[in-house]
Each structure stands twice: as C-alpha cells, then as structure tokens.
Chains A and B, each alone.
Chain A
Amino acid sequence: MQTPMAKLDDTLVRLGGVEKSFGAVKALVGVDLDIFRGECVGLVGHNGAGKSTLMNILAGVVAPDVGQFLIDGTEQRGYSPSGAKSHGIRCVFQELSVCPNLTVAENARVFHPSIRGFGWRRRAARLITEKLDEIFPGHGIAPSSLIADIAIGRRQMVEIARAFTVSDQPARLVILDEPTSSLDAQTAGQLLAHIRRSVASGLSCILISHILGEVLTTCDRIVVMRDGTVVAAGPAQAFDRARLIAAMGSAETKAERTTGPKAGLPRDGAPVRVRMRPARQQGDLELIAHEGDIVGLAGLAGHGQTALLLETFAASRRRNGRRNVTAPVAFVAGDRQSDGVFPLWSISRNIGIRSLAALRVGPFISQRLEDGLAGRWRARIGIRTQDTQDNILSLSGGNQQKALFARALASDARIVLMDDPMRGVDHSTKLEVYDLIRKEANSGRTFLWYTTETEELTNCDRVYVFRDGVIVAHLAGADVTEEQVIQSSFSGAP
C-alpha cells in the first residue's frame, strides 16, 4: 500500500479548529489534534487549559461550537455518548463516573448495553473481574461489592478496568483523565504498564496527567495545552520535564516570583494563628501558621488538604476551637460552582456576603456601603466588569475567582484559607493575585494555601506535604522545590 494511504488509515480521530465557549468563558479557542492508531498521547497543561473540555467533546458529552471532528475520516454530526461508544471511544473521567449505589458488576453492565437477558449478572461480573485481574493483579475487589462500600482507590481501579472491557463494541481509544490521582505507586505502575501493552496491541490512549514523570515515560507523543489551545506537540523523546513546564507556561512565574519579598523561615516571634492536626495524624507533626505566614498545603489531589482547611474553618466557628484558630477566618473556594459563587446574585452582593455586619446602617444593610466595598475591590484586584451590579456569572471564570478573593480579603478575616483557588484562572490573573497575597501577608494576614500546582508553592514561606490524610513532610525556605514536594508526596519522607 502507498504511504499516503497508510498514513490516512492510521488516523483514528482528527480535530480541526475546534472551539467551545461556556457563556463568557472560552474553554477552547481553535484546537487541532490528530490521534493515530496504536499510540499513547500525553495531554498536559495547567488546570483550565481546556483538557477536560477536549475530553468531553471526544466523549460526546459536550458538542463543539465550531470546528471539524472526524473519526476514521468521517465527519461526525449529532455525536453523542452512545456514538462515542459505538466508535470505541472510552473515557475515564476525573470525577468518578460509577454509580455508588450499584455493585461493581452492575456498573460494568451500565457501560455495556449489550449485557442483558438471562445470566447478565454473571457475564458482567466475569467481564469486569477478568479485566481487573489483567490490569491490577491482586486487586482484591469482589464484583458483588457495592461501589459505596469500597475505598476510593479501588473505585478508580473499577472505573479504569471498565473502560478497557470489550463486549460487542470495540475499544479503540481510551482517554484517561488523571487516572492515577487516587492510586498508590504500585497500582499506578500496573496501570501504566497495561497502557503500554494495550498500545502495543493496537489500542490508542490519551493520558491526561499532572504527574509529568508518568507522561514522559508512558507516552509516545505529548501535546501541551494552554489557554484553550495546543501550544506544543511532539514525540515524547523531544521533551523533558523542564521543557514541558516551560511549554505549559510557568517559566514566567518563576522569573517574576523573585520580585516578591520572601521571609522564608517560620516567624517564631509572631503570634500563632493556626495550630491544627489532621484527625488521623500520629507523631508530633502538626500544622502551625503564624501571623503573616503564607503556608502551603501540598501533595497529590485529595489527600486530606481540603479536609484540613475545612476542619480549620469549622474550628474557627466553634467556641472551643478558638484555642487553635485565634482570629476570624475567611475561605476562598477553588471549586467555584459548588463552594463559592452565589449564582443569582450580583458581583457586589457576592463580594459583600462575608462582610454584611460591617455594611449595615442601623439594622439594615446599606446598598451604598456594599457597592462602595465592591467598587474599591474591583479597582484593587482588577475585576474586569463594567458594573458591579451585573450578575456574577457574567464574569469569566478567572474574574469570578477574583471576586471570591475580594470577598475574603475585604472581610475582617485575619486568616485566609485557600482551597486550590487558581483552578481555571489565567496566567496574568495568577500573577496579580500572587502579588496581592504577598502584600496582604506583609500586612499581617495569614494564608493557608492548598494548591495542586506545585510551582505555585514557591510563593509560600513554608509547605506541609500531605499523603493519605496526614502530614508527611514539612519543607521550609530553600527546600520548597517542586522535586522535593513531589518526592515527599510519593515516598512520604522529606
């Protein structure tokens, strides 16, 4: 066969100039991407770069606004989740897509419409068990267990194994979004080995991961996304960690960071603002934050950092919690939709809610004071809007996030808890907020800052690394490097 034909035959999926917006937020601004048969493509980029939207388009959950979408060289119209499945495109979503009230086997059935009729439970159980045995030998998961009753890591194993099972429809492209986030090192290794084996037998994979090491070792090709578009692509050998980080767009962060003053060591002289221990912590490691501290909470996602922030918040609201949290607290949510934004309200009201007591004249909230507060912070933090009376959802994601920062910083809180607050925030906004945080810290505010973006930790004076719900390391000053943090979050030792 001639080469051009073969080349064409090898293209499984082709995206050309794909765009997608959610309201005012542009998630994708013209993405070109080809996936060939029998290759593993690594997809990297910061949160909000558009990776998940791209994946949702391939899964048929989200339809692109503009652009070309071909599978096997055929343009896709009216593409839906079942269309994706009939083309053999499978997804493992970051937030789990298994039903907690069903058993492992029943969840396999949900994925395979063809498993029905007499003996379906047995067939579903066999299908999922065989795949689990193949990918994760010694997994210890019974097909009759309810998902709700098994640990989060095992749920993820079930979901991954399910994506690789084959009944009547083929599996041709498996997309894995942060598949190792809840897996321990050994099972993660088993998964990566399985990906290599599958790719060798002709399957295609897309691996989305923030752990650059596993992307570099597992993938044939790497695609880097930033601000809704592909900014770099090439064979994996052409990249190393530094080049990936540079392409993802954090090199500038490092350069500019040095402009901020950095205190470095624990401020033993300043009063202690927060003293907390994770519930399951043994030994004498505990989190201590002094006045003016910026304390980072690091480690892999979901290893107890948010839980500790919530405990700190709860302690501040309890009378007997005042011993450990000695000043008023404000919370900056990272998951804006579920933890932060009040969607029916104006920008002004969203900012004012944390400071209502101070905005009163007599018993009544003064609109003038509230708007004044919002106006001051719009200028100070650079919220891009004509009018603070507009609905909060008229803002882009990054500006909504700024409003949430304004809510916390405008309040009387001396301690600010930040729960991975930079998700979906564009680069320039980040730099502005970093500066603001440093200024506020210098004026005596304390920050507890959980972030999944390891480079961000270099803005912190000190860092606590979490693993399995407990603190495993305490890094300060020059020890706060990406390598140290990653090493600690895997091995548990600093």
Chain B
Amino acid sequence: MSQAVVALFRRPWIWSFVGALFVWLAAVAFTGGTGAGGMLTAALSLAVFTVIVGLGQMFVVTLGPGNVDLSLPANIGLASAVAMKTMGGDDHLIALGLCLAVGAGIGVGMVNYLLIRALRIPPIIATLSASFFIQSIDISYGRGLQIKPPDGFADFTNIQILGVPLLALIILVFTLGASVTLHRTIFGRSVSAIGQNIRAARLAGVRVDLVRFATYVLCGGLGGLDGALLAGYFHGANVDIGNEYLLASIAVVVIGGTSVAGGKANVPGVWGGALFLVLLLTMLNTFGVSAGVRLLLTGLIIVAVVTVAGGAKPERQ
C-alpha cells in the first residue's frame, strides 16, 4: 500500500493535482465550506477548455525545444466565429458547424507547418506571424458578429450529470485516447523520439516531416474544436474569446510535468494543470483580490513552477 503511494508521488503529474487540491481547500476554507461542490463543478466546466488546447500544445511542445504553437488564441477566435456563423442558430447545422470549425483549425495548423518548413523559421515566429493573419481574417469575417449558438448546442455544452459536466466526461474519454496515442502508436513514439533528438529520430527511420506536420495539424484542429465549444458555452463568438488560452495552454503543459526540453509528455498532468489554474483563479476571486494581483500571482506561480521543474540538465562535457 505504502509502496503504491510512494510510486504515485514519483509521478511528475501528481504535483499539479496536489496543487489543485490545496488551492481548492484554501478557497473552501475561506468561504467556510459553502459552495465547495459548486466550485468544483464550475472548475471542471472551465478546465475542459484548457485541457483541449493543452493536449494539442502538449504534443507540439513534446516535439522539442522551440516548438510551441502561439497561434492558438487567434485560431480559437476564428473557429468560434466559423462555428457560430455556420450554425446560424439552427440546431440542424450543429454537426456541420463543428466540422467546419475543426476544419478551420486544421487549416491553421497546416499554414503553421508550411511556414515553419518552407521558411525554416522557428515555430515561435511562424505561429506568431500566422496568428496575425488569422486575427485579421477573424476581425473582418466576424465583424459585429452577435449570432447566438443554437439552443441545442448551448444546452449540450452546459449539461451536468450529478454535478459533473458532460463535456468533462467526453473530454476525459478523449484524454484517455490521447494517452494511448502517445504511448502506443507509431505517431506518439515518433513525437517523443523527435523531441529527444530530431537528428537521431530521422536516422532511426522516423518520418520526421510527416509527424511534425501531423502534430501541428492536430494542435490546430483541437484549437478549432475548442473555439466552437467555447462559443457554445459562453453563448456567442468573439475575437478575444481565446486570448487567455495562449499562456494557459503552455502553462498547463509545463505545470503538468511535460518537459519543455522535449520528448517527455504527460497526459494526466494536463488535467491537473488545468484544474490547478482554474481553481487558482477561483481562489483568488474568492479572496476578492484585484485583477492586477491575479495576473501578478499567476505569472509568478508559472515562473516558480518552471524553475522548480527545471530544464534539461546541461550536457556532460
């Protein structure tokens, strides 16, 4: 038994859950126990959206140093507009709207990789440049967009079963799928191999370009899905709807124990990290701190977590 506990605490992702638990307890202690359950339900509802993009970002980050998708916020914004415009408030068009939103995201991923590959520029700059394009497309495409999601879709994103959001359950199943993909498929192995040593991966027969392409497309597609779901949950699309997911997606990956040096991904940690971040904000809100303090503490905690987690050890001489 104690051995199992020790083994559990050796897992890098456990700390994100421990952190989330502490933050939740602190918030509950502050309110004197009222709303403890509601807090968890709300946290789960919001954490789902971070988990979706976090998983995409996790695969990208695992590709190795310098790989990161900074176009997610713009991607989410565009996809939310595409979804709402396509659905046009009609319940029958929900599936089509979802597909087109995911399609838009996939398109963004393809553009990202095209820039990275063709211009040989670091992914940071490629995805950042791409995000400016996407943002402009979104601004001009979604101008004055006030279309509400179809009722069926809005309801779907808000269904709860015994206090657990349905969306959270669906994404939990999806997360299991991501875990299997990471550990048990050629794609997942290849991502990890590339992240550890891209040159060795190529020489070991890994199809590096294809895998990197697929990873950026996967991340883009997940961004698209997230945009559509967010628009449903918040009752409407909006250019800025994805803004907070830039730092959040990277933060949950890092907090969750995925190595920013590449090669080592951690799927459960994405959930832990997302819950931690959402509950941290809940706690700070419960304490009634101002927006400034909230931003400041979020930033400091992320820097602190990265520092404690540490980077790759310097290579031996």
Contact = CB atoms under 8 A, between A and B. Distances in A.
Nearest to B188: A365
Interface in B173-204: 180, 184-186, 189, 192-193, 196-197, 199-201, 203-204
Contact of B184 (A333, A342, A364): A364
B206 interface: yes
B10 interface: no
B109 interface: no
Contact of A354 (B180, B204, B264): B204
B317 interface: yes
Contacts of A61: 317
B202 to A, nearest CB: 8
Given A342-B196, A342-B200, A364-B180, A337 B189 contact: no
B316 interface: yes
Given A22-B316, A364-B180, A330 B196 contact: no
Contacts of A357: 186
Interface in A14-53: 22
A24 B147 CA distance: 65
Q: Which of A56, A360, A363 has the most CB of B within 10 A?
A: A363
A407 interface: yes
Nearest to A56: B317
Given A61-B317, A331-B203, A353-B193, A344 B263 contact: yes
B180 A337 contact: no
A61 B317 CA distance: 8
A411 interface: yes
A340 B200 contact: yes
Contacts of B204: 331, 340, 353-354, 407
A333 B202 CA distance: 12
A373 B91 CA distance: 53
A136 interface: no
A62 interface: yes
A338 interface: yes
Contact of A330 (B185, B199, B205, B315): B205
A183 to B, nearest CB: 25
Contacts of B200: 333, 338-342
B205 A365 contact: no
B264 A344 contact: yes
Q: Which of under 10, 10 to 19, 20 to 34, or 35 or more describes the interface residues of A?
A: 20 to 34
Size category of the B interface is 20 to 34
A364 B189 CA distance: 11
A339 B205 CA distance: 12
Nearest to B259: A344
A333 B186 CA distance: 22
Nearest to A62: B317
Contacts of B192: 342, 344-345
B180 to A, nearest CB: 7
Nearest to A23: B316
Nearest to B261: A344
Nearest to B203: A331
Contacts of B263: 342, 344
Contacts of A22: 316
A202 interface: no
Contacts of B315: 337
A345 B317 contact: no
B183 to A, nearest CB: 8
A340 to B, nearest CB: 5
A341 B204 CA distance: 10
Interface in B259-289: 263-264
A333 B203 contact: yes
Q: Which 4 A-B pairs have the closest CB atoms?
A: A331-B203, A364-B184, A342-B196, A356-B186
Given A333-B200, A341-B200, A343-B197, 17 more contacts: A22-B316, A62-B317, A330-B205, A333-B203, A337-B315, A339-B197, A340-B200, A342-B193, A342-B201, A342-B263, A343-B196, A344-B192, A344-B263, A345-B196, A349-B189, A354-B205, A364-B180
24 contacts: A313-B203, A331-B203, A331-B204, A333-B200, A333-B203, A339-B200, A339-B203, A341-B200, A342-B193, A342-B196, A342-B201, A342-B263, A344-B263, A345-B192, A345-B196, A349-B189, A353-B193, A353-B201, A354-B205, A356-B189, A365-B184, A365-B185, A407-B204, A411-B205
